Amino acid sequence: MRKIKLFKLIFSFLLTGIVAPAQSVGEIARYGYEQLQGSARYQAMGGAFGALGGDLSSISNNPAGSIVFAFNEAGATIGVQSISTDSNYLNGLTNVEKSSFDISQAGFVLVLTNPSSKWDKIAFGFNTQTINNFDKNLFARGTNYNRGLEDYFLENASGISYDTFDFSNNADDEYSFLGNRFGYATQQAYMGLYTNTINHDDENSIYIADGLVGGGIDQIHENNTSGRQQLYSLNFSARYLQKLSIGFNINIYEIDYAEYKATSDKYLDTTSRLDQVDLQRDLNTFGEGVSFQFGAIFKTTDMLRLGASYTSPTYYELEDEYTEGLETYYIDSTDAIQRDAIYPNIVNLNGPYKIKTAGKIQGSAAVVFGKTGLISLDYGKKTYSSSSVTLPYAVDTNALNSEINEALDDANYLRIGGEGRIGDLSLRAGYWHENSPYKNKAVMGDFSGFSLGMGIRFGSGSLDLAYTKNTQKYQQQLYYIGLTDSASINESTGQLAITYNVRF
């Protein structure tokens, strides 16, 4: 387990029924969505390959697509992604950009023929590709006149007896004990009390905070993420009477997600007892998943091809590791600025827990104009509303799963692609649109984008180039309780991909 040698360990069993931040509606949506990734040809045509096949990434779209290859083939793709994130938080406007590079796709297909059989052709394939690149930064800043981090800690402390806490104990040991015995919210309350972000009024038996929010808080929020969600497709397909092709995939998924989240509150009212509060958290989520996929392509005429595919929900087993820290600057009775901080030498471990993300059904059609070009279309539905979380410890997840079902809806998507050929040169374009998985479109808007590309064949090899551009709007809520304000995000992503394939 990563980081175990550096820290003491705490297994947060969350017995209070409060689920840790990683297990949320947002996590289900994040891992259920798939970016337009894959080979350059696949991207350039908007991913509309459900009735076409003949591309290594098409295997992961419709398993029957591997049978379209005339020869054995192998290839790989490198890509550069750049994300520009505009944020509007309480009328404060900011922009931040981030670029990343990776080997985003690789695969091969082996083709066997038997002209004397009705099942005249079979193919075995393997394709791996990034389906989500998490490398992006978010920076939001604004003046908040209504709430601050103190409200987050007050909400977490609500309902917890002050006698629960032992401030004479070593801070790391107490933080560890509280997490094991009572869960996440009690840890947060302890951090707030330890640093004097909040205090306890013994006379009235209530928790209080001494920050003057009404004078305004200069609030800075960062949310920087990195990592990948990778798909590995093991494929088999067969063709019957040169008309009907069927295929099957076992899809293995790997998630490696990292998130650094930090919020800083600077009180603008000089008479406020609280001067500044800084909270930060480092989260790592990792694990594997599996799904099954069936597909068919039917060649009705030399021009028209129809396709259909079904992808089961993906069943993940995930684990979370997170560390956190809090420091507070406040004015003491002598008007001097004091600093209290807690950075527990603890890695909190959640899991393993299980999530089920959206399944998918898809219908496709393609018109092929001989050797001069083609037009292709995919239309499908993702069943986000059936997603769920299962925790192996004593937590009732009915409320969380009800929240998921109430927040998420099935999402339709459309992909259109075209290709024109002039000798060994191909010119390509594509468009895609996918509905938001959220019922409330203000939380997250629809996805849409376009793509352009070209390719050239030379001997047994080919080189393809693609550029994709897509935009999306969504709301980034700072915290799930207390400090619940949201930043309005406008995200623009550009990606350049280059693929080299060789036939053998």
Residue range 98-149, pLDDT digits in tens? 999 999 999 999 999 999 999 999 999 999 999 999 999 999 999 999 999 9
| CA nearest neighbour of 162 among 122, 130, 194 | 194
Residue 158 pLDDT exceeds 50: yes
347-398 tens-digit pLDDT:
999 889 999 999 999 999 999 999 999 999 999 999 999 999 998 765 678 8
Give the C-alpha separation, 31 to 231, whole Å: 12
H or E element in which residue 403 lies? helix 398-407
Q: Where are the beta strands (DSSP E) in 114-174?
A: 121-133, 136-144
User: Given this model, what pLDDT does residue 11 score?
Assistant: 41
Q: Does the pTM of the predicted model rise above 0.85?
A: yes
Backbone angles phi, psi at 104, to 5 degrees: -95, -10
What are the tens digits of pLDDT across the range 256-304? 999 999 999 999 999 999 999 999 999 999 999 999 999 999 999 999 9
Res 398: pLDDT: 85
Q: What is the pLDDT of residue 369?
A: 97
What is the Cα 135 distance to its own chain's centre?
Answer: 10
* Predicted confidence (pLDDT) at residue 209 exceeds the cutoff of 90: yes
- Please check whether residue 149 is in contact with residue 157, taking contact to mean a CB–CB distance below 8 angstroms: no
Element (H, E) at 151: helix 149-157
Q: Tell me the pLDDT band of 24, cut-offs 50, 70 and 90.
A: confident
Strands, E assignment, 183-273? 199-201, 206-208, 217-240, 244-267
Which pLDDT belongs to residue 391?
A: 83
Per-residue pLDDT, 414: 99
Quick check: 209 and 147 in contact, CB under 8 A?
no
Q: Measured between alpha carbons, how far apart are the two ends of the chain, in Å? A: 41
Which helix (H) or strand (E) is 180 found in, with range?
helix 171-181
The pLDDT score that the predictor gives to residue 405 is: 92
Token look-up 């259109």 returns 416
The ranges assigned to domains in the chain are: 8-503
Average pLDDT over residues 249-254: 99
Q: What are the Cα distances from residue 413, in Å, to 62, 79, 135, 394, 431? A: 15, 24, 24, 38, 11
Asked whether 480 and 450 are in contact (CB, 8 A), the reply is no
Q: Please state, in angstroms and as integers, the Cα–Cα distance from residue 467 to each residue in 36, 428, 485, following that order.
A: 11, 10, 35
- What are the beta bridge partners of residue 236? 124, 248
Q: Which of 86, 47, 84 is nearest to 450 (CA)?
A: 47
Helix axes 398-407, 25-32, angle to 10 degrees: 60
pLDDT for position 9: 41
The whole-number average pLDDT for the span 479-493 is 97
According to CATH, the superfamily of the domain at 8-503 is Outer membrane protein transport protein (OMPP1/FadL/TodX) (2.40.160.60)
Which contacts of 300-304 are long-range, i.e. CB under 8 A and separated by 24 or more positions?
Answer: 302/368, 302/370, 303/367, 303/368, 303/369, 304/365, 304/366, 304/367, 304/368
CB count, 10 Å around CB of 185?
22
State the helix-helix crossing angle for 149-157 and 184-194, rounded to 10 degrees.
Answer: 120
Average pLDDT, the chain: 94
Give the count of alpha carbons within 13 A of 433, CB side only.
3
Place of tokens 């010119």: 427
CA distance 191 to 168: 14
Three-class SS state of 429: strand
How confident is residue 459, by pLDDT bands cut at 50, 70 and 90? very high
